[in-house]
Amino acid sequence: MDPEHDENPWKPGTPRLHLVRLALAWIASAIALLIAAWIVPGADIEGFGAAMLIAAAIAILNALLPPLIAALRLPYMVATGFLLVLLLDALVLMATADAIEESLAIDGLLPALGVSLLATAFSTGLSVVIGLDDDAYTLRVARRAARRSGPVTETDVPGVLFLEIDGLALPVLRRAIASGHAPTLGRWLADGTHELTPWETDLSSQTGAAQTGILFGDNGNIPAFRWVEKATGRVMSCSSPQDLVEIEAEHSGPFNLLADGGTSRGNLVSGGAERAILTASRVADEKRANPGYRAFLANGSNVTRTFVLFVWEIALELIAATRQRRRDILPRGHRTGIYPLLRGGMCVFVRDLVIFSVLQDLFRGVPAVYATFASYDEVAHHSGLERPDTLEALRKLDQRFAMVERATAYAPRPYHLVVLSDHGQTQGATFKQRNGYGLDELVERSLSRGSVQLVGGGDENQTGTQRALDEATGRQEHTEERDAAGEADASAVVLGSGNLGLVYLMEEPRRMTREEIEARHPELLPALTGHPHVGFVMVGSETDGPVVLGAGGSHRLRDGAVEGEDPLAGFSPNAPHHLRRTDGFARVPDILVNSFYDPVLHEGCAFEELISFHGGMGGEQTQPFILHPVELRAPAEPLVGAEAVNRLLLSWRADREPPLTLPQAPAQPVADPPRAPHAPGSPS
């Protein structure tokens, strides 16, 4: 890991503007202005020559004025800055009209805003048609904004840029590369600069547990995306900023990945970062003046372009949803209501804000950056694992990574580019779609008495990063289900975390044993284990310790003894290890439920309304990856669990002391040795 500083000193270049491309961009802008003025009432441009003059004037003013707004220290910077730059674009057009009255007529602010937005839309389309993909201007603006936002670290000690693609499984990535939907990542592999290392998630295969483990090196006692504190009846959630503050305090320690000058961009937790934007656990940062958005706002065209692409993404969602319904593609998720707006926000607004904050970090020479991009995960939840619009979201993200790659050549220090995922996804119709009722209803009708309260549901991107975005824009924070069990006076609380279900029986403030459950609710465990869409359940026994139950047998985790058919046979060989670990959590539910998994159709089912899901075990949801430079070596032993990934990533930071050795691999990293099945009732 020691760079040869004396022999190979780092010499960053300068992004160069190509005159031919600038000329083509100028012409495209002029044509777009003509079309926009022709469409918008109250606007008129006299000829192509006037349009060229106006395009030049707007370009000059946009190069000078937006950086001034970006330099302001405003509260709710992303919202106030975005609106100010959007307004500025219209005012620039009006000022140009006043200066050259004979060539341009704009009848007020609204026509000016309409021309600005439509011209950006047409200019973006024309640029794609004529192949104007030169990012040099964007990189120059980002570098200039970075130098104005604080000190720049110039060194030849490599920094590390961690780019997380939320929810992308290794097998899906391989197929996407083969189909041409990830050309940048494919090129890195083909050129031999990078290699792929697989890793296996913990049982709670979701971003809350994964990122806490990766960024803090400790994700113990997080059984799912949301859980119940039985002693108080409080619901904790990895989407709640207040709860995430507690999670950070509980897990922060010597393995914080982003300590010593790192930055957090678009994550659920901060990893001890010095600076953060759109990080759910650090929403307080969004209420203050936040220089992290400066690179985005300093380029005036970003605001109008982002707004146009946001509207276009909504149109793409409506078209894709209509196509799915018309062709009767199954499984099919719910894609109505405000979801198109949320998709547009995650796939355009959040993605590009994070990209530009990463560019600013690079040009400041930040030693370590961890940025999450949730657009693929967001679309997959509702569209499907590898549907055309899902892979298109991945392609657009891959395209942004190419711009980041180019930016590293102009950074004040060399950078290692690492792309990784926190988990994968598995596809299938939901439990409710298959049965007409939910897990909560199955539990309620199987209780001897009492009612059930269903808590949560919905994907983590709409609740985690979305909350940080709400804070960044000054919107009121979402209402939390803080005490759902107490308010409903429920006998049980059922929570869904993908295909992982958690059943808390609120009769006792502690975890109830298998024997107690069978005595008080004799129909409950048979109803769950005998259901065709339940793979297994885990309970704690007074005599046998943690036991996994299935329709045809049981698996005692303490010693691996199996009676009848092993309920874990169709899952990961490390399933016993993951379940033993979760059983040791103080927050483990009374009954842990995992859906079935069909290895032929590669299907399971979520206990919430997401057709591509993660959270439990079964299929590709537990198969994330790390795509890293070949000089950053991976360990020879398998990487099992997010804490092992943390130690590996820490070892790649050249500016930090090497961490301790990797956490120990599971005691049984391969399948348990076969045992003769026990006859029912025989001693184990």
Query: How far is C-alpha 335 from the geometric centre of its chain's CA atoms?
Result: 19
Q: For residue range 592-605, what is the model confidence (pLDDT) as tens digits?
A: 999 999 999 999 99
Separation between Cα atoms, residue 374 and residue 1, nearest integer Å: 31
Tokens of 79: 């919202």
Residue from 176, 200, 158, 177 nearest 626 by CA:
200
Beta-carbon contacts of residue 253 (< 8 Å; ≥ 6 apart): 216, 217, 218
- Taking residue 680's Cβ as centre, other Cβ atoms within 10 Å add up to 9
Where exactly are the structural domains of the chain? Answer: 19-134, 431-619
**So what's the pLDDT on residue 84?**
73
Q: Write down the residue that tokens 């922060």 correspond to.
A: 252
Spell out a b/e string for 66-105, using b for 16 or more CB atoms within 10 Å of the CB, else e: bbebbeeebebbbbbbbebbbbbbbbbbbbbbeeeeebbe
Q: For residue range 244-257, what is the model confidence (pLDDT) as tens digits?
A: 999 999 999 999 99
For residues 606-612, give the mean pLDDT.
95
For residues 443-447, give the mean pLDDT.
95
Determine contact, residues 415/160, Cβ cutoff 8 Å: yes
Query: What is the DSSP-derived secondary structure letter of residue 586?
Result: T
Q: For residue range 517-535, what is the model confidence (pLDDT) as tens digits?
A: 999 999 999 999 999 999 9
For residues 649-658, give the mean pLDDT.
82
- The residue that leads in pLDDT, 148 or 515, is 515
Least confident of 44-48, 331-335, 571-575: 44-48
**So what's the pLDDT on residue 672?**
35
Beta bridge partners of 199: 639
Least confident of 77-91, 256-270, 359-373, 576-590: 77-91
Give the three-state DSSP class for 506: coil
Beta bridge partners of 194: 629
**So what's the pLDDT on residue 674?**
33
**So what's the pLDDT on residue 273?**
95
- The residue that leads in pLDDT, 307 or 498, is 498
Question: What is the rounded average pLDDT for all residues in the chain?
Answer: 85
Most trustworthy range by pLDDT among 136-150, 200-214, 348-362, 668-682: 200-214
**So what's the pLDDT on residue 131?**
58
**So what's the pLDDT on residue 678?**
32
Separation between Cα atoms, residue 401 and residue 661, nearest integer Å: 31
Q: For residue range 380-425, what is the model confidence (pLDDT) as tens digits?
A: 999 999 999 999 999 999 999 999 999 999 999 999 999 999 999 9
**So what's the pLDDT on residue 681?**
34
By CB atoms closer than 10 A (0-12, 13-18, 19+), residue 517 is buried
**So what's the pLDDT on residue 456?**
61
Q: Residue 321 above 70 pLDDT?
A: yes
Determine contact, residues 268/204, Cβ cutoff 8 Å: no
* Position 641, amino acid: G
**So what's the pLDDT on residue 3?**
44
For the chain, helix, strand, coil in percent to 5 are 45, 15, 40
User: What stretch of H or E contains 628?
Assistant: strand 625-629
Beta-carbon contacts of residue 225 (< 8 Å; ≥ 6 apart): 204, 206, 207, 208, 209, 237, 238, 239, 456, 460, 497, 498, 615
Q: Residue 479 above 70 pLDDT?
A: no
* Position 608, amino acid: E
Beta-strand pair 368-373/159-165: parallel
Q: What's the pTM value of the predicted model, to 2 decimals?
A: 0.85
Separation between Cα atoms, residue 98 and residue 61, nearest integer Å: 14
Separation between Cα atoms, residue 132 and residue 124, nearest integer Å: 9
